Amino acid sequence: MATIQKAKMQDMDAILGIWLNASLQAHDFIPAAYWEKQLIPMRDLYLPLAENFVIKENQTVLGFASLLRSEAVLAALFIAPHQQGSGYGKCLIDFLKQQCDELHLNVYAENTAAVNFYRQQGFKIISQALDKNTGHAELSMTWSKP
Q: What is the tens place of the pLDDT at every residue in 74-90?
A: 999 999 999 999 999 99
Sheet with 73-79: list strands edge to edge.
3-6, 51-57, 60-68, 73-79, 102-108, 137-144, 124-130
Predicted local distance difference test score (pLDDT) of residue 1: 86
Question: 130: how many CB neighbours lie within 10 A of its CB?
Answer: 11
Work out the percent of the chain whose per-residue pLDDT is above 70. 100
Average pLDDT over residues 30-47: 96
Predicted local distance difference test score (pLDDT) of residue 18: 98
Predicted local distance difference test score (pLDDT) of residue 39: 96
The pLDDT-based confidence of 19 (bands split at 50, 70, 90) is very high
Q: How far is CA 34 from CA 23, 30, 119, in A?
A: 10, 7, 27
What is the chain's mean pLDDT, rounded? Answer: 97
Residue pLDDT, tens place only, 114-139:
999 999 999 999 999 999 999 999 99
Q: Is the pLDDT of residue 50 over 90?
A: yes
Predicted local distance difference test score (pLDDT) of residue 141: 98
Judging by beta carbons within 10 Å of its beta carbon (0-12, 13-18, 19+), is residue 54 exposed, middle or buried? Answer: buried
Ordered by where they begin, the domains of the chain are 3-144 (3.40.630.30)
Query: Distance (Å, rounded) from C-alpha 102 to C-alpha 119?
Result: 14
Q: Which residues have C-beta within 8 Å of that of residue 91, sequence separation ≥ 6?
A: 2, 4, 55
Residue pLDDT, tens place only, 85-114:
999 999 999 999 999 999 999 999 999 999
**Bridge-partner residues for 106, per DSSP?**
140
Question: 61: how many CB neighbours lie within 10 A of its CB?
Answer: 20
